[in-house]
Every structure is written in C-alpha cells, then in structure tokens.
Amino acid sequence: TSFGYKHVPEEEKSKLVGNVFSSVASSYDVMNDLMSVGLHRLWKDRLISKLNPFPGMKHLDVAGGTGDVAFRVLDRINSVSHRAMQGTLTDIEEDTQIYVCDINSNMLNVGKKRASERGYKEGHRLSWIQGDAEALSFEDGSMDGYTIAFGIRNVTHIEKALSEAYRVLKRGGRFLCLELSHVDVPLFKEIYDVYSFSVIPAMGELVAGDRQSYQYLVESIRRFPNQEKFSQMIKDAGFEGIEYENLVGGVVAIHSGVKL
Ligand code: SAM
C-alpha cells in the first residue's frame, strides 16, 4: 500500500491512536457527519434498536467519549418509561445507570459538555470514566449491556477488549459492536475504495487540517478483521448467539452476542 502504516508496532499504534483523537476531538463531529454523509446517526440509532434498552438497566458504552451512544440509550429508556408511567419516576427507573468509558480525556470532556448542554446532571444516570477497553475497572457480572461504536478497531489487543466485555456482563447480558467493516459488493467496493483512500484523507486535511490521522483511519479499517473473522473472535471470547448485520453493503456492521 502507499501508506506507511501497514506494520505499525504496538506501542506506536497506541500512541498514534492517542494523537488521532487528541487532534481530532474538536473537529470530530463535523468530520463524522461529512465522512458518513450523516449516516452515522442512523447507524447509531440502529445499534440502539438492537440493544433494546430498558428502565433500570446498567449499561456500559466503551470508547464512548462524545456520548453519542449513551445519550441515545438514555433517551430511549426515558421515552419507554414515560410512555409506561406517564412521567412518574419509579424506583426501577432511578436505578438506570449508563457508564461511558473512554481512554481519552479530551473525548470525555466533549461528552460531558454535551451532556450538560442537554440538561443531564452529572452523576445522575450518566457516569464518565476514563479507562482502557482492555482493562475495565468494572466488576465481573455487573452490566446488562455493553456497546462499543467505532472504537474496537483502535484497541491494541481486540481479544482482550472482547474478554473484558464478557467479564463485566451479567449472564443474559448483551454485547453489541458497531464498526466500519468490509464491503464485498462488486463495483460498490471499487467506488468505496476510491472514496476512502482518496476522498477521506483529503477531507481530513481540508476540514481538520490533519491528513495523516485520516489516512491512519482508512488503513485501520483495512486491517480490521472481516465480518466472519470478527464473529469468530467474539465467539472465542465466550459469547453465544453471535449475529451480524451489514449496513450499506458492509461499510459498517453491527455484531452482537450474548453471555449465557
Ligand atoms: N463511540 C463514539 C462514536 O461512535 O461517536 C466515539 C468513537 S471514536 C471514533 C473512538 C473512541 O475510542 C475515541 O474516543 C478514543 O479515545 C476511544 N478509544 C481508543 N482506544 C481506546 C481504548 N483502548 N479504550 C477505550 N477507548 C478507546
């Protein structure tokens, strides 16, 4: 390939990922909308539909810095319970807790700021925790749900993140992962390749003033295991009932599994 990232040593990978998200955090929302032509919003909505959040749930969103997924989980729970209870808070609802875990404090700060703009009180149902997907600070069997959106691709040891997901989930708890994946549709694949290798780095330079980070992003999509391989990795971590759904021909995929 024409990019120099094919064999990035592990320490360097962690450093690169750190740099990417420090330099990107500010222009992050704009770039997300531009790169996915706004589709990432629909993909996240789809992720939440599959999760099917419920009042009283303990949910962990990993790599969730900006709060995009957590806000959706909370909004869904609120709309469900308001419909059922006509606005009266129940004890169950009060138990609802969404934990957002991210390795990067800049991203968490973006999320916290957005939470207060949305009128969510800190600590009330939403907790922001800085931490590594590979070594979570949560107890065994403590979560009903685990989501990771556009995050696992950046983790150094994916297997470790998966086994941590398994560890913190309760029996019956569900794992869901939204990630850029592999397109396997002739013609569309060629168009997508041109888009990702030429258009995205150029956009990164223009909008975020950072071509290298977006080249890295595109390379990391390439290196990420395809849908079948990733399913196998989820299975190897101990999960059962593994399924995946391709969106836009595999540009992104939602993988899910349950801890039995
Ligand atoms: N989930 C959000 C969304 O969909 O908009 C943010 C996705 S962003 C592309 C990837 C996030 O993963 C960044 O906030 C980054 O800091 C975080 N991240 C990278 N490596 C991580 C790790 N090992 N553990 C936890 N978070 C990590």
ipTM (interface predicted TM): 0.99
Cα Dmax for the chain: 59
Q: How far is the CA of 21 from the centre of ligand 1 (A)?
A: 8
Rounded CA separation 249/181 (Å): 9
Q: How far is the CA of 151 from the centre of ligand 1 (A)?
A: 4
Residue bearing the CA closest to ligand 1, atom 1: 64
How many other CB atoms sit within 10 Å of the CB of residue 246?
A: 16
Nearest-atom number in ligand 1 for the CA of 25 is 14
Q: Is 133 annotated as a binding residue?
A: yes
Rounded CA separation 162/79 (Å): 30
Q: Best of 21, 36, 136 to mutate for ligand 1, by most ligand atoms within 8 A of CB?
A: 21
Q: How far is the CA of 150 from the centre of ligand 1 (A)?
A: 7
Domains and CATH numbers, the chain: 36-180+224-258 (3.40.50.150)
pLDDT in tens, 68-118: 999 999 999 988 776 666 555 566 667 899 999 999 998 899 899 999 999
Nearest-atom number in ligand 1 for the CA of 156 is 23
- Give the up-direction half-sphere exposure of residue 166: CA atoms within 13 A in the CB hemisphere: 18
pLDDT in tens, 147-185: 999 999 999 999 999 999 999 999 999 999 999 999 989
